[in-house]
Amino acid sequence: MPYVSRDAQGRVVGLFEHAEETATENLPASHPDVLDFLFRDTGGERNSARFLASDLAFIRVVEDLVAVLVEKRVIAFTDLPPAAQDKLLDRRSMRSYLSGVSGMFSADEESKII
């Protein structure tokens, strides 16, 4: 878990392997503030925000592909490693939850969630 330093606005501006004078807060690597720092757009040198969005969309494709392969009995869900099974079940649960609560939002907001 990295140690983070923050600017005056509270945004993460540095990651450290060990605690530093300006970095005493320890966050998990998956924390939204850490991910924001890692994938923050750097002014055009690399379009990391776009790359991250592409990765997230691709994850959805992989989930759907696994579902089709299982449905067509090309593979069995239990053929997947336990960690992959757990992640797919978690994602399925989250998607189910989000589709259930999506009716609480307007059409514009709904398209941003799913």
Cα separations in angstroms, 80 against 11, 68, 85, 110: 38, 14, 6, 32
- pLDDT at residue 105, rounded to an integer: 47
Q: Is the per-residue pLDDT at 37 higher than 90?
A: no
∠ Cα 7 37 111 (to 5°): 120
Average pLDDT over residues 37-58: 68
Question: 106 falls in which pLDDT band (50, 70, 90)?
Answer: very low
What is the number of domains present in the chain? Answer: 2
Q: Has residue 34 been placed in a domain?
A: yes
Residue 20 has pLDDT above 50, yes or no: yes
Average pLDDT (30-48) is 71
Assess if residue 59 is contained within a domain.
yes
Task: Answer whether residue 68 is part of any domain.
Answer: yes
Same domain, 52 and 23: no
Torsion 70-88-102-49 (CA) sign: negative
What domain range is 20 assigned to? 3-38
| 60 and 82 assigned to the same domain | yes
| Within a domain: 43 | no
pLDDT at 80: 95
Is 88 a domain residue? yes
Say if pTM beats, i.e. exceeds, 0.85: no
